[in-house]
Structures are given as structure tokens and as C-alpha cells.
Structure 1
Amino acid sequence: MRFNPKARLDTSRVRDSGRGSGGGRSGGGMSGGGMQIPIPTGAKGGSAVGLVIAVIVFLVLTQCTGGGGLSGLGVPDNPFDLSRVQGDDSGRYDACRTGEDANDSEDCARVAVENSLTDYWSETLPAQSDVGFRPENVMQTFTGAVETGCGQATSAVGPFYCPVDESIYLDTGFFRDVLQQQLGGPAGDFVEPYVLAHEYGHHVQNVLGTMSRVRTQQGPDSDAVRLELQADCYAGMWTANATGTDDAGGEPLILELSEQDISEAIAAAKSVGDDKIQDRTTGRVNPREWTHGSADQRVRWFMVGYTEHSLDACDTFSASRL
């Protein structure tokens, strides 16, 4: 992945809260309303399907609505009051100004990817739907724990999207400590962009109102799986068109995506399939507990988005075969 040195980066939606205070509850999770999301540890006999790089949307929403489930989520009107959840900015991204910085720094590359995702969906969403686009409020990195509109989260949750404050959160150590070391996932420059594109896909679903369609939360054909596979499909859409995205002045943001980049995205999608995670962490595969889809399903839907470039093609909720 190669960024355009002439491109100007916009850091207004990317921030870092540094090391969270309190560290959250034991084992990780989100607090709020007296509830805690059980984040698996990968221990034998435990549920492993939740420990994935994609957001555990149905659990987050259940918590945000006090156990009421996905339907009827009360999301406040913009602009959101994020003062409670954001805290102080560590200044981690202050030096990210150009595409050259993105070529030299993983942090600045994260800013460039966010800029590219925002530019892509700002054009694609209104062009392919009757819904206006709004960017995510914040893409926030943290260490240890973070306060969000959906409650407190620790690193054990993995990267996730909170629909209440419309923000994406990630502890960047997740890619090494969990994805690679615990789940056997790939290393590479395009692994994190794939994850960010997936999480941005959840924001697109939130804007479109798709999250309200989730009723069933486990199983190979469940609505939760359909939601996650659709986010993979949206990630594929952006990946196919990333080199066509521009900065505010019209300069291309990304000059090149290689075959290796695409291979890394596919490898990452495979590594976080429910079947792969279950097998690696518990030694068994139980489709009835799936919440995100199998490795093959995740790769398939990423490639549907990559080849079809269409919201309609990514309609997993109407698909008879996942």
C-alpha cells in the first residue's frame, strides 16, 4: 500500500486517548446499565466467537439499550456530545500532515486510511442509496481501556464500532497481541486497513438503518452473521476503489494497492472466521454459536464487494446463501 506524498491528511476525526484509567472490569468488556459484555479468554470450554476483530454489534447494542436488543435503538441527533467519552487527546497524530508521513508511519497511515474511507463513502453512499452520508465522529485509538458512548471497553473487546456515539475504537496492540499471536492471523501493512474498513462498514450500516434489522444473534444464517458479512462486503467495496479516493484538495490519497495487500486482507478475513477461532481456541466448531460467519463466508463476501462494488450486491439480508 503506497500513499501519495503530495496528499494532505485531515486529522480532525482521528484521535488517541492514551492509556485508559481503571483498566475496565476483569477480562475486558463494556460496562453500563449494570451489565458487562463477557469477552472470551480463549480458554478451553469458553465461548470464543466473540473475540474477533469485528465489532460485536448485537452485544454492544443490547448493552446500550439496557438489554432491550437491537430494535428501537435510541440514537441521539447530531451533533453528539462526546465530551464524556473522549477525554484528553494524547497528540499521537499531530505530526501526520501528508501522504509521505503515512508512508513512513503506521499512525499516519491510519489517518490516511480514515480519510480515504470517508471520501469513498461520502460519494458512494448517496450515489447508490437514498440516504445522505455523514462521516464517523471519531476514529479513536487507546491503550488498556476507553470510555465510549456504549460504556467502558478494554483491549479484550478488539476493534469495534459504537453506534451510540458513531465512533470507531481500537487498541492498536490488538493486531500483534491477539490477531497474530492468539489467533494466528497475518501480519502485513494491509491487515489494519481491512479491519478499519470493516468497522467503517458498520458505520455505513448505522447510517442506512440496517442495524435495526438484526433479530437473531447466533447461528450460521443469523441476522448477526449477515450484518458482519455485509460489513466485510463493504470493506471489499472500498478496497477495490481505494486508489480513486482524494484529499480535500483533489489529490489522490492512495497511489497503489498491490496483490500482496489483497492477499493480506483475505488472510485476515480467514483468520477471524468463527470456525477458525472456535477451532483454535476451543478445539471444536459449533455453527450454532456463530456470530460473524465462517472463514469461507467472510472471504466470499469481501470478494463480492471487491468485484461488484455495489450496495445491492452486498445485501446479505436478502441472500439465500451466505
Structure 2
Amino acid sequence: MTFNPNADISVGKAKRRGRTAGIAAGGVGLGAIVVLLVSQLFGVDLSAFVDGGAPQSQTQQIGTGAELTDCLTGADANANIDCRMKGAAASIEAYWATEMPALGGTYSSPQFVLFTGQTSTGCGTASSATGPFYCPPDETIYVDTAFYDELRSRFGSSGGPLAEMYVVAHEWGHHIQNIGGIMDAHPSRATGAASDSVRLELQADCFAGSWAAAASSTKDENGVPFLQPITQPQITDALSAASAVGDDRIQQASTGGIRPDTWTHGSSEQRQRWFLTGFQNGAGACDTFSVRAGSL
């Protein structure tokens, strides 16, 4: 999607952390388990990237990061990836600040951290190989923006701006599940095509679709829509990202076979379909937990 050049994105809560030579992880505990079992958007095995050893020479404190003070307008968001992330944050935040109360919940903001290389989180140490994820203990979304290059080169997504923002909107959806009690209500982390793990991920895809549909009517504090009306090619971009990270597609590419009993995120078809469900019908249609297994 394209930002309106004069939209005010200065309220976006994204921060940028610098590169560090070493991160103190402090051991593998509940937070690390959450990373491994809850926060994997892209089906990557994070076990090699959660450091349970001794602290290293440099530590980056959780919650720190530089404000993106040069990212002020939609024109900045159209020109720069960090600013686009900040603009996405401003738009998604404005959407959920209205939508969640309408659904009967109480909204509170997540933190949103951009990093390079590796960083410390409330769920343990994350590296660029982790992929974007949401950490429930510190209510923070973490994205290494270099991942978007990998989304195009490794996973085969067309990777346009809406595909990039879909990733952020999906992770914001996990925050909505966290503060709305959905994660607590469905604590099982079993795998399988109809598991709660898959249902959580598909619901986050649906929430992302609901934001995308409302994005061109979601306005800044001056009444200017953050984003211009969505086009069909842009929807196709977002769907290509959803398809690229389906469990079946990743398994086929990596092992030559498909094992639905090990799925944690859903198939390419499911991820696309639930994104479109949210896009066409809104967040109120995103109850993936009441759908029988055969229709999921």
C-alpha cells in the first residue's frame, strides 16, 4: 500500500536498536520457551538462536532503542523501510485503538523494536534468523528488517510494501490475542493442522486482513488517511507473503514432503484464506477457534 504523503506518522511507536557484538541472554527459561513455541511467525526452528550460555561482552537492555525522529510523514514512509515500519505502527495502532473496544476489549499498545543482527528480548535472545515475532512477556514486536529481503529471495514472496506491513499487522494480531486473553484461553502448544497453535496463527492472519481492509479509512490525528486505497496487485503481494510462509510450502521446500501433524502455522491456502476472511468481513469474523477441524 502507498502512504498519503502528508499523513502524520510521527506517533508511530517503532524504535531502532543498533547492532551489537554480543548479547547477554541470561539462560533459557519460560521466555525462551515462549519464543520457541508461540512467537514463530515463519516456522523457523529458533533453538539454535536462543542462547542459554553465559553473558557475552555487550548487553543491550530490553526496551531500549532510538526513536525514529526523521520519520514524520507518509512521504518518509514511502521512501524508507524504517519509516514504513513506523507508519505501519501508526496505522495499525489507530485501527486497534478503535476496533478492540468495539469488539468488547480494552486496548493497550505493544512496543515495536527494529533491530539488526541480534537483540535481547523478554523471550530470550533473538537473531536475524529468528524472523519477525511477538514476545508476550514484554509485549513487544521484534523485526529485523533485513528479513524482508529473505522473504523475497528465500520464500519467494513478491514482497511489496503491503507484504511487509502484513508481517507487522500479523504480529500486532498476536498482541491483540495476548491482551485480549485469547492466548491464556488456548494455552495448548500441540502441533497439527487443527491445533491451537495453528488456530492462533490463522487468527493473526485474519486480524492482519481486517486492518488492511480498513487501512485507507484509518486516519491520523489531523483527519488524513494514513494510506491510499488498496489495489488488487497490493492484495496479491500480501497474499504472496501469506502463501510463502505456509507450513506445507516450507516443508515441501526443505524436506520434499508434507507432514500436517507437525504444523504450527497452517498451510499456504489456509493463511491466504483467513487473511481474506478478515479483509472481507472484519475482525469480528476471525474466531478460528470455533471452526471445526475440517473447515479450518
Smaller-chain TM-score range?
0.7 to 0.9
Specify whether residues 88 and 101 from structure 1 end up closer, same or farther in structure 2 by C-alpha distance, changes over 3 A only: closer
8 Å CA contact 1:86–1:147 kept in 2: the answer is: no
8 Å CA contact 1:11–1:96 kept in 2: the answer is: no
Q: Deviations over 1:263-288 (max 9, x none)?
A: 00111111100000000111111111
2:62 corresponding residue in structure 1:
85
**TM-score normalised to structure 2 length:** 0.86
Distance (whole Å) between structure 2 residues aligned to residue 251 and residue 52 of structure 1: 32
Please state if 1:124 is matched with 2:113.
Answer: no
8 Å CA contact 1:3–1:256 kept in 2: the answer is: no
8 Å CA contact 2:203–2:274 kept in 1: the answer is: yes
1:101 corresponding residue in structure 2:
76
8 Å CA contact 1:39–1:157 kept in 2: the answer is: no
User: How far is 1:258 from its partner?
Assistant: 1.4
8 Å CA contact 1:24–1:153 kept in 2: the answer is: no
Q: Deviations over 1:32-90 (max 9, x none)?
A: 339966999xxxxxxxxx9753799xx99xx9xxxxxxxxxxxxxxxxxxx9303342x
Specify whether residues 314 and 284 from structure 1 end up closer, same or farther in structure 2 by C-alpha distance, changes over 3 A only: same
8 Å CA contact 1:32–1:152 kept in 2: the answer is: no
Specify whether residues 101 and 51 from structure 1 end up closer, same or farther in structure 2 by C-alpha distance, changes over 3 A only: same
2:218 corresponding residue in structure 1:
245
8 Å CA contact 1:31–1:37 kept in 2: the answer is: no
Q: Deviations over 1:72-115 (max 9, x none)?
A: xxxxxxxxxxx9303342x5x22111112122222212111110
> Residue type of the partner of 1:15?
K
Distance (whole Å) between structure 2 residues aligned to residue 34 and residue 211 of structure 1: 15
Distance (whole Å) between structure 2 residues aligned to residue 125 and residue 168 of structure 1: 18
Please state if 1:139 is matched with 2:112.
Answer: yes
Specify whether residues 6 and 182 from structure 1 end up closer, same or farther in structure 2 by C-alpha distance, changes over 3 A only: closer
Distance (whole Å) between structure 1 residues aligned to residue 251 and residue 132 of structure 2: 19
Residue 289 of structure 1: which of 244, 262, 265 is its match? 262
Specify whether residues 84 and 191 from structure 1 end up closer, same or farther in structure 2 by C-alpha distance, changes over 3 A only: same
Distance (whole Å) between structure 2 residues aligned to residue 201 and residue 2 of structure 1: 21
> Residue type of the partner of 2:21?
S
Aligned residues: CA RMSD? 2.7
Q: Deviations over 1:124-143 (max 9, x none)?
A: 110122x211111x211101
Please give the residue correspondences for 1:158-173 in structure 2 after superposition, counting only pairs within 5 Å.
Answer: 158-173=131-146
1:193 corresponding residue in structure 2:
165
Specify whether residues 127 and 37 from structure 1 end up closer, same or farther in structure 2 by C-alpha distance, changes over 3 A only: closer
User: How far is 1:215 from its partner?
Assistant: 1.2
Distance (whole Å) between structure 2 residues aligned to residue 112 and residue 87 of structure 1: 20
8 Å CA contact 1:11–1:94 kept in 2: the answer is: no
2:21 corresponding residue in structure 1:
21
- Secondary structure of the structure 2 residue equivalent to 1:193: helix
Q: Aligned residues: percent identity? A: 41
User: How far is 1:188 from its partner?
Assistant: 1.5
8 Å CA contact 1:31–1:153 kept in 2: the answer is: no
- Secondary structure of the structure 2 residue equivalent to 1:119: helix
Q: Where in structure 1 do 4 or more consecutive aligned residues deviate above 6 Å?
A: 37-40
- Secondary structure of the structure 2 residue equivalent to 1:53: coil
Gapped regions of structure 1 (runs ≥ 5): 41-49, 64-82
User: How far is 1:181 from its partner?
Assistant: 2.2
Structure showing the higher helix proportion among its residues? 2
2:57 corresponding residue in structure 1:
none
Gapped regions of structure 2 (runs ≥ 5): 51-59
8 Å CA contact 1:161–1:199 kept in 2: the answer is: yes
User: How far is 1:168 from its partner?
Assistant: 0.4
- Secondary structure of the structure 1 residue equivalent to 2:115: strand
Specify whether residues 24 and 228 from structure 1 end up closer, same or farther in structure 2 by C-alpha distance, changes over 3 A only: farther
> Residue type of the partner of 1:20?
T
Residue 29 of structure 2: which of 33, 36, 48 is its match? 33
